[in-house]
Amino acid sequence: MAAGSTGSSVQFAAGGEIEIAYETFGSRDDPMLVLIAGVSSQLLGWDVDFCRELAGHGFRVVRFDNRDVGLSTHLHEAGVPDLTPLLRGEPIAEAPYLLADMAQDVVDLLDVLGVERAHIVGLSMGGMIAQEVAAHHPDRTLSLTSIMSTSSPAIGAPTPEAAAALLAPPATTEEEACASALAGARVYGSPGYPLDEARLLAATAAAFRRARDPGGVARQFAAIQASGDRTERLRGIVAPTLVLHGDADPLVQLPGGQATATAIPGARLITFPGIGHDLPRPLWSRIIDEIAAHAAAAS
């Protein structure tokens, strides 16, 4: 790789109470672009090739494990929230922490990396966290890209089938994890694109072997619900904002993306036909181009 650039080896940042496991791609001299993963998803959720291609557009890209997943700090002592109300369509009002706390983890990571301001990109729950970063830390946010996300858990809520797939009992073996991932992808994947089963199974197996904590995932779900409606906070966001959403997403349905774009002043919404709650590889280049062009314009 070029001099002054980093590869993809895990490092650890302890800027606050939470130690964050992260990897970086690209030149240290380029603007920082932070990728925030969705609920239960480790940094592996951002494919290494996706990160490298994005870095090739002139960014120092960082992907990381949110608290309670992967190799970052797990808050076992906080207990396991009861998620059964979600299956009945009822909200959860309390949680061990909120999305704003997870946004603070992002800012703490930037502090450790010595980065004053960054482009913030998040997918699904990661989009919600990215929104909180932009709302609470405008001085740290160069631009915001919210992907397949929403301004409130009540807007664009999952279909009953998607909710059941997402909240299926946690796998206890690698084989169960792979079977559950396939079943889930067939419910909330992209109907306009073929499912790459081999890639999905390889990624699922790697994530299962790397770390497993059903209690941590439950705490993340609770954080989404207990954080409530962000609409009023989003109205105060000043960072240039791009919203990306699939029109066939049953997990965070399109009204969630539309509400996000409506709430944030000047936000631009791009809708992708035939896209569910994933990023089909045939669309990577276009999605990366959109993210890169938006961030470059903001810079």
Identify which of 211, 199, 216 has the alpha carbon closest to the alpha carbon of residue 174.
Answer: 211
Residue-range domains of the chain with CATH: 5-159+214-298 (3.40.50.1820)
Strands 20-27 and 11-13: antiparallel
**Mean pLDDT estimate for the chain:** 94
Distance CA 101, CA 94 (A): 14
What residues have CB less than 8 Å from 23, skipping those under 6 apart? 8, 9, 10, 11, 43, 51, 62, 63, 64
Tell whether pTM > 0.85. yes
- Taking only the tens place, the pLDDT of each residue in 136-182 is 999 999 999 999 999 999 999 999 999 989 888 999 999 999 999 99
Q: 84, exposed or middle or buried, with CB in 10 Å at 0-12, 13-18, 19+?
A: exposed
- Taking only the tens place, the pLDDT of each residue in 258-286 is 999 999 999 999 999 999 999 999 999 99
Distance CA 21, CA 64 (A): 6
Task: Say what the pLDDT of residue 1 is.
Answer: 33
Task: Say what the pLDDT of residue 91 is.
Answer: 77
Task: Say what the pLDDT of residue 8 is.
Answer: 55
Alpha helices in the chain (DSSP H): 48-55, 84-87, 99-113, 125-136, 160-166, 174-188, 197-210, 214-227, 231-234, 254-263, 284-298
| CA–CA distances in Å: residue 47 to residues 42, 204, 274, 279 | 11, 12, 21, 10
Find the helix or strand (DSSP H, E) in which 34 lies: strand 32-36
Is 25 strand, coil or helix? strand
Task: Say what the pLDDT of residue 93 is.
Answer: 80
Task: Say what the pLDDT of residue 6 is.
Answer: 45
Q: What is the pLDDT along the chain (299 residues), one digit of tens a residue?
A: 333 344 458 999 997 889 999 999 999 999 999 999 999 999 999 999 999 999 999 999 999 999 999 999 999 999 999 888 877 777 788 899 999 999 999 999 999 999 999 999 999 999 999 999 999 999 999 999 999 999 999 999 999 999 989 888 999 999 999 999 999 999 999 999 999 999 999 999 999 999 999 999 999 999 999 999 999 999 999 999 999 999 999 999 999 999 999 999 999 999 999 999 999 999 999 999 999 999 999 98
Task: Say what the pLDDT of residue 128 is.
Answer: 98
